[in-house]
């Protein structure tokens, strides 16, 4: 099930005399349910209670009234004077700038990014100050789904490549649940369970249950009671272990090793995998009954290539800021254009984990030298390029094919003003198939 992002409580004010400019914006944002109004320079209509608001303003408006921006406490997306201005910043210090020949996709991405930042300020806080960055449509759409399902008691299966941040999504589900957030969030890497220790680790044991059991031990299942059990890399769990966990899920009861006293459990199970569990089921390497117990709700975390340049840059800046010494934090806002361009265009097969590693390395360089040493930074960038060259051919081919298909679908959607039935006919597929492809490729609309 996909929850469509709804921006019907968003009011966008367009400050630009050109009628075509306003009509273009209104048509583009119609699929999002956004209210679009004209705004005379310095004058805005009343905003309904509970509405979020932002403005789309031509830079030329500043020539008429330079104080316009200062008079209105709302985000502003500026539209530049020149076509495809590269690296040009918001004239008042921000970075939300569109070229005057912006495409529908660029405008929707910018609006949903800005609104997404506002909407998701209400996300529950994560441990250790962790932050989920969402500038892209695909990531904002995922967070909409996460918050829609967080307060459910149903099991969740999170899919995604290695390093995309599946555990952060699992923790958001935990902390957003009124009941289970009162208990612990217990993460377990199923691929790192030593042979012969499964029962003791998951079910716990009583004192004297076996040699070395010098005291009673609570297993993962009991630790997660009244909380959330997060099983990462669930596809690595052997069949015989799946059977034992399935039994607990069906009965809600477990017994410690060496004990005969049953313990009643109440926990929410969230599992994650970078493998195709349906294919494993067909190959008899994963139990179908266990799979259907896990996948009551399924979420897909997009990789960095699907999320795009905006998310890459935002994550890079966030990590870089944390790396700075006291008094150096402003350095993260002074990133030279050549570095931003390189980060935006690099491919990160290791996803967020690899991007964070790069940002930390460059952060050390800037922190120690107090400058953007291009020679040292380029060495760090070259290491990422070398790692990208080692991407498995099958994965590289799939990513390339996905990118081509995504661009084709977006082009057809724009050409047909985001009318799905007409777009599906043009593509020679059913409307259901188009919806599935849009969901898979992170296209919201």
Angle at 306 between CA 304 and CA 307, to 5 degrees: 60
Q: Kindly report the CATH number assigned to the domain that includes residue 194.
A: 3.40.50.300
Q: Indicate whether 205 and 262 sit together in one domain.
A: yes
Residue 265 has pLDDT above 70, yes or no: yes
Q: Which of 103, 123, 153 delimits the end of a domain?
A: 103
Q: pLDDT value at position 437?
A: 77
Q: Indicate whether 259 and 320 sit together in one domain.
A: no
Helix (H, G, I), strand (E, B) or coil at 78: strand
Distance (Å, whole) CA 244 – CA 4: 37
Which of 321, 391, 316 has the alpha carbon at shortest distance from 355?
316
Q: Indicate whether 399 and 379 sit together in one domain.
A: no
Instruction: Work out the end-to-end distance of the chain between its first and last CA atoms, rounded to an integer number of angstroms.
Output: 15
What is the DSSP-derived secondary structure letter of residue 162?
Answer: T
- 309 Cα distance to chain centroid: 13
Q: Indicate whether 211 and 284 sit together in one domain.
A: yes
Which of 28, 45, 33 has the alpha carbon at shortest distance from 4?
33
Q: Indicate whether 196 and 319 sit together in one domain.
A: no
Q: Is residue 55 in a domain?
A: yes
pLDDT-based confidence at residue 308 (cuts at 50, 70, 90): confident
pTM: 0.67
Structure tokens at 440: 């898979």
Q: pLDDT value at position 200?
A: 87
Q: Are strands 35-38 and 10-15 parallel, antiparallel or unpaired?
A: parallel
Domain of residue 89 covers 10-103
Distance (Å, whole) CA 270 – CA 344: 32
For 21-67, how does the pLDDT look when each residue is reduced to its tens digit (9 = 90+)? Answer: 788 888 888 776 778 887 764 445 455 444 566 666 766 665 555 55
Residue 366 has pLDDT above 70, yes or no: yes
Q: Kindly report the CATH number assigned to the domain that includes residue 436.
A: 1.10.10
Q: Is residue 132 in a domain?
A: no
The pair phi, psi for residue 287, each rounded to 5°, is -70, 130
Distance (Å, whole) CA 25 – CA 14: 8
Structure tokens at 271: 């599992």
Angle at 264 between CA 260 and CA 269, to 5 degrees: 120
Number of domains present in the structure of the chain: 4
Q: pLDDT value at position 395?
A: 56
Distance (Å, whole) CA 289 – CA 58: 57
Distance (Å, whole) CA 280 – CA 403: 26
pLDDT-based confidence at residue 171 (cuts at 50, 70, 90): very high
User: Which helix or strand (DSSP H or E) is residue 263 part of?
Assistant: strand 262-264
Q: Indicate whether 289 and 318 sit together in one domain.
A: no
Q: Which of 259, 281, 300 delimits the end of a domain?
A: 300
Q: Indicate whether 330 and 273 sit together in one domain.
A: no
């Amino acid at each position: 099930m996909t929850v469509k992002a709804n921006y019907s409580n968003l009011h966008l004010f367009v400050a630009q005399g050109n009628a075509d400019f306003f009509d273009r914006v209104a048509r583009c944002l119609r699929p999002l349910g956004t209210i679009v109004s004209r705004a005379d320079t310095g004058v805005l209509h009343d905003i309904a209670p509970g509405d979020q608001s932002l403005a789309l303003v031509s830079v030329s408006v500043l020539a008429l009234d330079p104080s316009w921006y200062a008079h209105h406490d709302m985000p502003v997306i500026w539209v530049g004077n020149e076509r495809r201005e590269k690296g040009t910043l918001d004239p008042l210090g921000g970075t939300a700038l569109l070229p005057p020949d912006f495409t529908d996709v660029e405008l929707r991405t910018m609006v949903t990014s800005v609104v997404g930042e506002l909407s998701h300020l209400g996300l529950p806080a994560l441990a250790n100050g962790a932050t989920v960055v969402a500038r892209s449509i695909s990531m904002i759409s995922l967070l909409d789904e996460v918050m829609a399902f967080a307060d459910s008691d149903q099991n969740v299966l999170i899919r995604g490549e290695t390093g995309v941040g599946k555990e952060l999504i699992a923790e958001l589900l935990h902390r957003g649940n009124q009941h289970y957030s009162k208990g612990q969030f217990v993460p377990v890497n199923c691929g790192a369970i030593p042979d012969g220790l499964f029962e003791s680790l998951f079910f716990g044991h009583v004192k004297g249950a076996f040699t070395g059991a010098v005291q009673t031990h609570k297993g993962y299942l009991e630790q997660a009671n009244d909380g959330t059990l997060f099983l990462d890399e669930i596809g690595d769990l052997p069949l015989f272990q799946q059977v034992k966990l399935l039994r607990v899920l069906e009965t809600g009861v477990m017994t410690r090793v060496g004990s005969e006293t049953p313990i009643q459990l109440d926990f929410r199970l969230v599992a994650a995998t970078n493998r195709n569990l349906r294919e494993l089921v067909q190959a008899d390497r994963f139990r179908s009954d266990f799979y259907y117990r896990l996948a009551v709700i399924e979420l897909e975390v997009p990789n960095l290539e699907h999320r795009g340049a905006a998310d890459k840059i935002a994550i890079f800046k966030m990590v870089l800021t944390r790396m700075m010494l006291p008094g150096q934090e402003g350095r993260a806002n002074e990133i030279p254009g050549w570095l931003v361009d390189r980060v935006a265009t690099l491919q990160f097969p290791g996803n967020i984990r690899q991007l964070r590693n790069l940002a930390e390395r460059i952060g050390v360089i800037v922190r120690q030298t107090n400058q953007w040493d291009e020679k040292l930074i380029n060495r760090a960038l070259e290491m990422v390029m070398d790692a990208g060259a080692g991407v498995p051919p099958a994965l590289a081919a799939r990513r390339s094919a996905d990118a081509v298909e995504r661009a084709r679908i977006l082009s057809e959607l724009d050409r047909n003003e985001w009318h799905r039935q007409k777009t599906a006919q043009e593509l020679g597929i059913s409307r259901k198939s188009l919806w599935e492809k849009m969901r898979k490729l992170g296209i919201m609309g």
